[in-house]
């Protein structure tokens, strides 16, 4: 889908009469573009729109380059399509003349947030560079919100790990749940750090491009501020990474301690049963006067005792949460 935005009287205005590029057209947004959409943009602007497979390449030369008078910059972002599961995707920024082209295959909340502000005239939309830094600022704010959410979840996780006041039969299950939650938070933090690192590299390339092309000094100043914000987010994300690693080690240590307690109990029980086993091994229950030998139901009762001897420990261990 192609969406064209014009800048009129300092406000961003969305075109509703189809694809028509004019002097006021400053932003072309491609969301899940088809081959026909890409061909239309390539013909109108004279640039080669990168495909979905091309923007996934990790080498810098494939994500930051200049071609046909246009500058291409691809960054990784984290978003939540179902509000629960994090997904890492890409957004490609293309600066050609005074226009910005964005190529994306997701609908992160930062884009509609930026559009809503720009339509009210709250952000500058006079050039493609101003629009790009505005979008990046929205991505930074959204990333900061995600980090704050992770911070709250990690605080709750820390309280649950070090204030585990459940019965022993529930502690193993509880520790298993905490271990999975810690793993989820660790995965989310790693995705956020990857996104922040990618944004930082994008800003470095964008700043060099802005200086070479003589962009508005205010845009360059906003790029510098955005870089400092990204660095602070990266620093805080690394702190959360270390904290989650500590929680993971603590949880694994508590699981190990729980298992050691169970093994200790089994060892004590085995030692307690060794003397009776030794006596039975020596004498073999070979006595002349054994009243049970004359019982008509002695054999069935013996079988029943064997079954109970196996079932009762199993039920006991299950209730304790050891099995």
Strand pairing class (87-96; 70-79) = antiparallel
- The span from the CA of 126 to the CA of 133, in Å, is 12
Beta strands per DSSP E along 50-108: 64-67, 70-79, 87-96, 99-104
Predicted local distance difference test score (pLDDT) of residue 225: 93
Q: Which residue has the higher pLDDT, 132 or 287?
A: 132
pLDDT at site 283: 63
In the chain, % of residues over pLDDT 70? 89
Stronger pLDDT, 237 or 23, i.e. the higher one:
237
Distance of CA 281 to the CA centre of its chain: 60
> Please, is 24 exposed, middle or buried when counting C-beta atoms within 10 Å of its C-beta (0-12, 13-18, 19+)?
middle
Q: What is the pLDDT of residue 296?
A: 81
Instruction: Tell me what pLDDT residue 285 has.
Output: 65
The pLDDT-based confidence of 172 (bands split at 50, 70, 90) is low
β-partners of residue 36 are: none
pLDDT tens-digit readout, 53-87: 777 766 666 788 888 788 889 888 888 776 667 88
Q: How many CB atoms lie within 10 A of CB 222?
A: 19
Q: What CA–CA distance (Å, rounded) separates 273 from 101?
A: 78
Question: Residue 2, SS3?
Answer: strand
Amino acid 38: pLDDT: 81
Query: What's the pLDDT score for residue 232?
Result: 92
Q: Reduced to 3 states, what is the DSSP secondary structure of residue 241?
A: helix
pLDDT at 221: 92
The pLDDT of 247-259, averaged and rounded, is 81
The least confident of 69-73, 160-164, 247-251 is 160-164
Q: What is the pLDDT of residue 229?
A: 92
Query: For the residues 262-271, what does the mean pLDDT come to?
Result: 77
Are 2 and 19 in contact by the 8 Å Cβ rule? The answer is yes
- Taking all residues of the chain, what is their mean pLDDT, rounded to a whole number? 81
In CATH, what number does 2-257 get?
A: 3.30.460.20
Cα–Cα distances (Å) from 30 to 55, 77, 197, in that order, read 14, 16, 24
What's the average model confidence in pLDDT over 213-224?
88
Interatomic CA distance for residues 250 and 242, integer angstroms: 12
> Structure pTM?
0.76
**Band of residue 282 on the pLDDT scale cut at 50, 70, 90:** low
Name the strand (E) or helix (H) holding 231: helix 217-283
């Amino acid at each position: 889908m192609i969406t064209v935005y014009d800048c009129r009287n300092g406000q961003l205005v969305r075109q509703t009469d189809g694809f028509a590029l004019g002097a006021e057209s400053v932003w072309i947004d491609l969301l899940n573009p088809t081959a026909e959409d890409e061909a239309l943009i390539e013909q109108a602007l004279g640039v080669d729109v990168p495909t979905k497979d091309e923007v996934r390449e990790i080498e810098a030369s494939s994500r930051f380059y200049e071609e046909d008078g246009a500058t291409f910059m691809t960054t990784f972002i984290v978003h939540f399509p179902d509000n629960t599961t994090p997904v890492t995707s890409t957004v490609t920024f293309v600066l050609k003349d005074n226009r910005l082209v964005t190529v994306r295959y997701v609908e992160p909340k930062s884009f509609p947030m930026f559009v809503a502000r720009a339509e009210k005239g709250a952000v500058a939309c006079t050039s493609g560079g101003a629009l790009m830094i505005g979008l990046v600022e929205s991505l930074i704010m959204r990333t900061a919100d995600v980090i704050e959410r992770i911070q709250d979840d990690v605080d709750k996780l820390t309280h649950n790990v070090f204030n585990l006041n459940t019965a022993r039969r529930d502690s193993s299950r509880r520790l298993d749940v905490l271990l999975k939650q810690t793993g989820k938070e660790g995965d989310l933090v790693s995705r956020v750090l990857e996104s922040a690192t990618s944004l930082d590299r994008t800003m470095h390339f964008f700043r060099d491009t802005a200086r070479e092309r003589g962009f508005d000094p205010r845009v360059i100043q906003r790029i510098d501020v955005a870089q400092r914000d990204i660095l602070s987010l990266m620093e805080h994300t690394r702190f959360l990474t270390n904290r989650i690693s500590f929680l993971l080690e603590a949880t694994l240590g508590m699981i190990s301690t729980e298992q050691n307690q169970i093994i200790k109990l089994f060892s004590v029980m085995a030692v307690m049963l060794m003397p009776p086993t030794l006596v039975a091994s020596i004498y073999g229950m070979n006595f002349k006067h054994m009243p049970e030998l004359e019982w008509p139901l002695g054999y069935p009762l013996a079988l029943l005792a064997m079954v109970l001897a196996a079932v009762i420990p199993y039920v006991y261990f299950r209730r304790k949460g050891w099995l």
